[in-house]
Chain A
Amino acid sequence: MALAPLDDEIAISELISNPYPIYKRLRAQTPVLRVKSIGRTFITKAADTRPIKDNPELFSSNDPNTPMQRAFNAHTLMRKDGEDHMAERKAMMPTFSPTNLKTVWSPAYEKLAHEYLDRLPRNEVIDLFPMLAGPLSASILSIILGMPDATDDDMQFWSQALIDGAGNFAWADEPFERVDRAHIAMDTYIAKQAEILKAEPDQSALSVMVNAENPIAYSQIVSNLKIAIGGGINEPRDCMLTILYGLLTNIDQLEELKTSGNWSAAFEEGVRWVAPIQVSSRLVMQDTTIRGFDIPKGDVVMTIQASANHDEELFEDGDKFNALRKRTPHQSFGSGPHHCMGTHLARLTIGKLLLPLIFERFPNMEIVEPENVKWWGFGFRGPLNLNVRLN
């Protein structure tokens, strides 16, 4: 057979500003496509993306040629397979147990959400990105990870530095210098905090990892925390804003949810509609084929869950936000061994706690100039602003 077709027209800038029309075209015409500007083979159909992530022997997460290792100063669990991956993932798992979610993190989140909502002024135009979504997402994460003294600004700066470094495919100096500065601050604080939590253990991730019977190496404990910092703020933030945008621009749906109370449906629809993590890469370990095209060993396939979530074979009018649509599983939390560890946490905090709370508090919240909401991002995607008036 032949290699997949090669595209030399799709520009990174187009993907960043709005990838969805491109994905729609690719799903219809070239669902397996080598994209020159990204240097990856795009896989855009839902039926193809998921089996790739479910088969780590053939499609490995261990891709050494990404800037992630440099940015994290470490080989992290997200880029490992098999036993090593499991050991590191399991070390953090007790923190996210259902009992902890219900009895520890749920009350903590509710308290925080009230505090942040209390601070929002009424009857003026405010941007919910910096006023609510960013800081609230940072704040709960600092508590769950066992880093409660880190300020929301620290957490957001560290998170962004890690993300920008890991996404620095141009290998520019600035993002790496910035993340190196962040490492110094994080490492100092984590080391101090680890001693405190050894004396007074709790259910936080740092505590659970340092106090385990057979702890993983300290360096891995630290990089696990950094993965969670890099991957635990922007997705809840972005999906919170996406869901609010969807509901506030579809008032009929919002009214129906106020009656039914089925806020979880709005959560699932928001993360489906604009997946906070749009793409995931996997390294091909053996020559194989996808849809009849040769995929050689050493190639890197990019599974585009953002596209899978709009696939015409699964979703009618997938480009529209519809919180009342028939429930069909999406791929926004990934699949396979790397399936998101924060899935249940995000479902609970945003879908079950925050959404009902915010509309109970501000039932007549209005979006201001929705046409000025700026959406941005190729790897990660969400609104950069969301102006509303609360009353």
Chain B
Amino acid sequence: MTEVIFVSANGEKTTVEANAGDTVMQTALAANISDIIAECGGAMMCATCHVYVDDDWLERVGKADEDELTMLDFASSEVKPTSRLSCQIKVDDENSGMIIHLPDSQL
């Protein structure tokens, strides 16, 4: 079983079971994590699925590539070196348990 741990901007922690192969965005929507909006449904067109990968997990999860960074420019909350679009992160056995911090706003 794979899982993702979401931490909201005010520190609230939610552990969610995830289907391996789903994206972090899909996992969040399925669990009604409302801090992820994902207006474009994962097409990397909207930047409303912006998250920060926990420092300790960044290496395993990976950083944003160039296309993703271009789109991240549209994010409403500050973009940091740990910023990712959660529709571009797939959950697998390797990164199961990853800690994902949610920004305070997506719009």
Same complex for A and B? Answer yes
Size category, A interface? 10 to 19
Residue of B46, B73, B107 near A339 (CB, 8 A) is B46
Q: Are B37 and A339 in contact (CB under 8 A)?
A: no
Q: Is the beta-carbon distance between B42 and A54 smaller than 8 angstroms?
A: yes
| Pair A344/B74 contact, Cβ less than 8 Å | yes
Residues of A in contact with B (beta carbons under 8 Å apart): 50-51, 53-54, 93, 97-99, 264, 268, 329, 333, 335-337, 339, 343-344, 347
Residue interface bits B11-54, CB-to-A below 8 A is 1, else 0: 00000000000000000000000000101111101100000000
* Interface contact B74-A339, CB-CB below 8 Å: no
* Among A54, A264, A343, contact of B43 (Cβ-Cβ < 8 Å): A54
Q: A203–B37 Cα gap in the complex (Å)?
A: 29
Instruction: Find out whether the CB atom of B42 lies under 8 angstroms from the CB atom of A339.
Output: no
B105 to chain A, nearest CB (A): 10
Q: Can you name the residue of chain A whose Cβ is closest to the Cβ of B26?
A: A54
Inter-chain contact B74/A335, CB cutoff 8 Å:
no
- Let me know if B40 and A97 touch, CB within 8 A: no
Q: Could you list 15 A-B pairs, sorted by A, with CB under 8 Å?
A: A51-B41, A54-B42, A54-B43, A97-B70, A97-B73, A99-B73, A268-B107, A329-B37, A335-B39, A336-B40, A336-B42, A337-B45, A339-B41, A343-B46, A347-B107
In Å, the complex CA distance between A99 and B43 comes to 22
The answer for the CA separation of A264 and B106 in the assembled complex, in Å, is 13
CA distance A335 to B39 in the complex (A): 6
Residues on the A chain within 8 Å of B37, using CB? 329
* B residues neighboring A (CB under 8 Å): 37, 39-43, 45-46, 70, 73-74, 107
A264-B107, A329-B37, A347-B107 given as contacts; is B73 within 8 A of A336 (CB)? no
Complex CA–CA separation, A51 to B42 (angstroms):
11
Q: List A contacts of B42 (CB < 8 A).
A: 54, 336
Q: Closest CB-CB distance, A84 to chain B, in whole Å?
A: 15
- Residues of B close to A97: CB separation below 8 A: 70, 73-74
Find B40's partner among A264, A268, A335 (CB 8 Å cutoff).
Answer: A335
Cα distance, A98 to B41, chains bound together (Å): 20
Return the 9 tightest CB-CB contacts between A and B, nearest first: A54-B41, A339-B40, A337-B43, A339-B45, A335-B41, A336-B41, A98-B73, A336-B43, A329-B37
Residues in A with CB closer than 8 Å to B40 are 335-337, 339
- Chain B nearest Cβ from A246, distance in angstroms: 19
A333 / chain B contacts, CB cutoff of 8 Å: 39
CB-CB nearest in chain B for A330: B39
Known contacts being A54-B43, A336-B40, A336-B43, is A98 close to B74, with CB within 8 Å?
A: yes
A53 in contact with B73 (CB, 8 Å): no
Query: Complex: how many Å from CA A50 to CA B41?
Result: 8
For B37, B46, B70, the residue with the greatest tally of chain A CB atoms inside 10 Å of its CB is: B46
Minimum C-beta distance from A278 to chain B (A): 18
Q: How far is the CB of A107 from chain B (nearest CB, A)?
A: 19
* Alpha-carbon separation in the docked complex, A336 to B74 (Å): 16
